[in-house]
Amino acid sequence: MSALATRPKVDAEIGKAVDLDLSGAWLVDPASGREGPADVVVRAGILESVTWLEAGDGGAEDDRGVVVAPGFIDLHAHLREPGNETAETIASGLAAAAHGGFTTVCAMPNTTPPIDRAAMVIAELAGAAASGSPVRLLPIGAATLGRAGEQLAPLGELADAGVVGFSDDGAPVQHAELFRNALSYAGMLGLPLIDHPEDLALTAGAEANEGLVATVLGLKGWPAAAESNAVARDIALLAEVVRDVPGTRLHLTHLSTAGSLDAVRRAKAAGLPVTCDVTPHHLALTDEWIAGARRFAWAAHGEDGEARDPWRDRGLVAAPYASSLRVNPPLRSAVDARACLQALLDGTADAVATDHAPHTQVDKDMEFGLAKPGIAGIETALGVLLEAVDAGLLPLSRLITALTTGPAGVLGGVVEPGFAIGAPADLVVFDRAERWTVGPDSLRTRGWGNPLADRSLPGVVLLTVAGGRLAHG
């Protein structure tokens, strides 16, 4: 098939209702579980028709060209407004999201000041409306006042103002009794509590995943147990709270170790209402990148599943200590990365979330251990995941569900990704066969320093339509 035959043409400006005729592109509809070539017609932003084509009708013969999917949903992004608009604004963050194929973005509350009162939520939503972007911003409210971990935020008031969950992300809710109360109250309000699982007693001064790379580079180790301890505590408290508050939901974000994913796997098998997400960088990158390796995780372990030693294989091609790779939780071993992928494949991980965390050059371009943690990855998420698809490790349909129905399930029905006729179109169109080069000129984020800079990734997003309106294209 020819990718050009189905390349969409849209005359609308950003924010305006779209007319669209997509002919014969590969449509993936995770709500119905169906995929194949189809014609899609949108008029004045409304999805008018979807016509599935039979083989030989001239549509795409496989999923390797232009793909149409529901707009992606990011459960975890940092937009930095208010307080750090040099790093990102609501407008630049939503533009970056649209460029990455996302039509819904959950914004974490660790702004300055944090989103811990209704007035802050209202201001955030007004900022999204004023940005002109049709990308839907779903606010997450702080779980504790000022994210200080001392007393609960006014959760009911935040829920009334429109938050879709509660989190102190950037930090865990460390105090167990407070965490238990946050779970109960969030559950009574029908909203998930989203925890960043980190045992802070184990991570003071930690710089890189505890292991060979950290040892050789002289970086302070960040043990896997810091995450699995916190996950175990959260699940133990969930098991008690859910007996009294049946609506309780716990979501564990950016899980990065085999051990913590195993704990979630067991908790799910026991019927507990827990969900989790993994990030593209924990799936595809490993701690050996800090030593200068640049191969994806699946090339960094042998057939036996053991992590290979980048010094022995001469896998080191870049300068070590690139601070763009400092992230919380840290990049882990190839074995942990493989566990993240396995968790996605077996459904232990419900979603891929980007943890888009932009920083200024001032905060990021410094000694490894002093750089602010975070990767601004909302625009590279699709390309990184497509690398795993191209390596034969992840079905395209699972990539799509991990970015659409998976996160929608975590949010509990706030968004319904799919192709409902008569509803505003909400979709992304990307060309899997086309590649692009990551760099400041090709990214919309204000965040400095992407670890994938100068690398080419598959999957050019041709068009993003959010709520019937043009978001990118």
And the tokens for 194? 């989203």
Kindly report the CA angle at 28 between 45 and 139, in degrees rounded to 5? 60
User: Judged by CB, which is closer to Zn ion: 169, or 227?
Assistant: 169
**Of 91 and 255, CB closest to Zn ion:** 255
Does position 359 interact with Zn ion (CB under 5 A)? The reply is no
Region of 52-60, 67-75, 164-172, 275-283 interacting with Zn ion (CB under 5 A): 164-172
Give min distance, CB of 84 to Zn ion, in A: 16
| CA angle, residues 406, 156, 238, in degrees to nearest 5 | 55
Sole window of 167-175, 218-226, 274-282, 388-396 interacting with Zn ion (rule: CB under 5 A): 167-175
CB-CB contact of 207 with 234 (8 Å): no
By CB under 5 A, name the one of 35, 74, 169, 431 that touches Zn ion.
169
Report the nearest approach of Zn ion to the CB of residue 372 (Å). 12
Contact call for residues 441 and 388 (beta carbons, < 8 A)? no
Closest approach of Zn ion to the CB of residue 251, in Å: 12
Q: Which range of residues in 2-10, 109-117, 161-169, 375-383 is near Zn ion by CB under 5 A?
A: 161-169
Q: Which of 18, 68, 15 is nearest to 43 (CA)?
A: 18
Gap between the Cα atoms of 126 and 63, Å rounded: 39
Pairing outcome for strands 34-43 and 20-29: antiparallel
Of the listed 355, 363, 426, 431, which one is catalytic?
Answer: 355
Measured from the CB atom, the residue of 233 and 472 that comes closer to Zn ion is: 233
With beta carbons less than 8 A apart as the criterion, state whether 457 and 387 touch. Answer: yes
Q: How far is the CB of 131 from Zn ion (least distance, A)?
A: 24
147 binds Zn ion (CB under 5 A): no
Over the window 189 to 228, marking each residue x when it contacts Zn ion by CB under 5 A and - when it does not, the resulting string is -------x--------------------------------
Q: Which stretch binds Zn ion (CB under 5 A): 165-173, 180-188, 309-317, 461-469?
A: 165-173
Residue placing its CB nearer to Zn ion in the complex, 24 or 373: 373
CA distance 52 to 35: 9
> Which two structure tokens, joined as six digits, stand for 193?
């509590």
- Catalytic-residue membership of 336: no
- Report the nearest approach of Zn ion to the CB of residue 254 (Å): 5
Q: Which residues pair with 193 in a beta bridge?
A: 166, 250
Residue 59's nearest CA partner among 48, 50, 70 is: 50
- Contact call for residue 398 and Zn ion (CB under 5 A): no
Please count the residues of the chain. 473
Strand, coil or helix: 27? strand
* Nearest residue to Zn ion on Cβ basis: 196
Using CB under 5 A, which residues numbered 279 to 308 contact Zn ion? Answer: none
Measured from the CB of residue 373, what is the shortest distance to Zn ion in angstroms?
Answer: 9
Give the CA distances from residue 167 to residues 261, 336, 399, 402, in Å, rounded to whole numbers and listed in that order: 20, 25, 25, 21
- The size of the interface with Zn ion (CB under 5 A), counted in residues, is 2
d(CA 57, CA 97): 34
* Structure tokens belonging to residue 267: 């908790």
Site for Zn ion in 230-259 (CB under 5 A): none
Q: Residues in the site for Zn ion, rule: CB under 5 A?
A: 169, 196
Give catalytic residues, as residue numbers: 355
